[in-house]
Amino acid sequence: MKRDEGLLRRLRQGLRKTQGALIQRLEGLLLYPKIEEDLLDDLEELLVTADVGIATTTRILGKLQREFRQKGLSEPLRLREYLKEEMASILSQGLAKPLSPPCPSKPWIILFLGVNGSGKTTTIAKIAWRHQKEGKKVLLAAGDTFRAAAIEQLRTWGDRIGADVISHRPGADPSAVIFDAIQAAKARQVDLLLIDTAGRLHTKRNLMEELKKVKRVISREIHDAPHEVLLVLDATLGSNSLVQAREFHRALGITGLILAKLDGTAKGGALIGIVDELKIPVKYLGIGEGLDDLEEFEPESFAEALLIP
């Protein structure tokens, strides 16, 4: 109970930027005498401004009108609770299986994607740390060979948490690093192999081709791997993250999302549009730079933090 309250507080804190505007304007809508066209227009604008995205906003409003009509409801006061439940329901999609590796499949391989600066390396360290604490043997692979600093950064995290890191020199073929990492993971009886990848934005086509190759190499070595393909998104980006998620998903088939930097001046509304469009579950939220600043995603708490003062 205590932990949940703490989580809600931290989420509210993180979502301040989205929440402040949303709640204030929603309060205004609740003052309308009944649900009518003007109110729906304002609500549409409100959701789009909160980065929910046009397609999802239109869908939410259409459903709202149908359901309120069917049930003979017209008081705006019910709007907030309705929106909270609708957002939580959208965010619950696909949220069934936990991330922990099941016993028989060793190594369990997770491929991490995300543009530079999104929080990918930090998130990898947090997830490695969490599994190590559960007694799992974890290996890291420095697949972003494009930036020497990225290799260094992963090594530094590896040192801090006591996990081995497989890396090559800067400029090496990422697929070769991944190949070596998989062989090492097999030989060392590793439970979990976490693979960092490049995320340079300015050469998008090459990046996607490189990442597809990495994925192919993984599947060639272990036929049902990667077992997860997780996209790390920067929570401060807002609607840009939908564009990013679409592109990564189209090229690589994402199986889960992680929203990092939710503790800053985050804009969380975008997550609703992303999950609604791509039907990809959210696995974790990053709420700080420390190793323990990772929370499992809870749709209800997230929607509540977004809409309820």
Choose the binding region for ligand GDP from 15-23, 47-55, 117-125, 134-142 (rule: CB under 6 A).
Answer: 117-125
Q: Of 84 and 130, which has the nearer Cβ to ligand GDP?
A: 130
Choose the binding region for ligand GDP from 63-71, 84-92, 177-185, 286-294 (rule: CB under 6 A).
Answer: 286-294
Among 263, 276, 295, 298, binds ligand GDP (CB under 6 A): 263
Q: Nearest Cα to 43, choosing from 11, 76, 69, 17?
A: 76
Q: Nearest Cα to 136, choosing from 127, 145, 144?
A: 127
Q: CA-to-CA distance for 227 and 215, rounded, in angstroms?
A: 11
Among 28, 117, 162, 253, binds ligand GDP (CB under 6 A): 117
Residue 179 Cβ vs ligand GDP, minimum distance, rounded to whole Å: 22
Q: Of 139 and 259, which has the nearer Cβ to ligand GDP?
A: 259
Q: What is the DSSP letter of 101?
A: P
Among 19, 121, 241, 255, binds ligand GDP (CB under 6 A): 121
The two structure tokens encoding residue 140 = 């890291």
Q: Of 119 and 273, which has the nearer Cβ to ligand GDP?
A: 119
Q: Of 43 and 113, which has the nearer Cβ to ligand GDP?
A: 113
Q: Nearest Cα to 86, choosing from 304, 309, 258?
A: 304
Residue 235 Cβ vs ligand GDP, minimum distance, rounded to whole Å: 8
Q: Nearest Cα to 207, choosing from 113, 141, 123, 121?
A: 113
Strand partners, 72: none
Residue 181 Cβ vs ligand GDP, minimum distance, rounded to whole Å: 17
Residue with tokens 């705006």: 76
Residue 190 Cβ vs ligand GDP, minimum distance, rounded to whole Å: 21
Please tell me whether residue 31 adopts helix, strand or coil conformation. Answer: coil
Residues 188-247 that bind ligand GDP (CB under 6 A): 199
Q: Of 81 and 159, which has the nearer Cβ to ligand GDP?
A: 159
Residue 293 Cβ vs ligand GDP, minimum distance, rounded to whole Å: 6
Please write down the HEC assignment for all residues of 155-213: HHHHHHHCCEEECCCCCCCHHHHHHHHHHHHHHCCCCEEEEEECCCCCCHHHHHHHHHH
Q: CA-to-CA distance for 182 and 187, rounded, in angstroms?
A: 9
Residue 287 Cβ vs ligand GDP, minimum distance, rounded to whole Å: 6
The two structure tokens encoding residue 272 = 């609703």
CB 268 within 8 A of CB 297: no
Please report whether residue 257 would count as binding ligand GDP according to CB under 6 A: no
Residues 135-174 that bind ligand GDP (CB under 6 A): 153
CB 261 within 8 A of CB 293: no
Question: Measured at CB, which residue is nearest to ligand GDP?
Answer: 286
Q: Of 117 and 309, which has the nearer Cβ to ligand GDP?
A: 117
Query: Which residue type, as a one-letter code, is found at position 8?
Result: L
Residue with tokens 């401004």: 49
Please report whether residue 260 would count as binding ligand GDP according to CB under 6 A: yes
Residue 288 Cβ vs ligand GDP, minimum distance, rounded to whole Å: 5
Interacting residues with ligand GDP (CB under 6 A):
114, 116-122, 153, 199, 260-261, 263-264, 286-289, 293
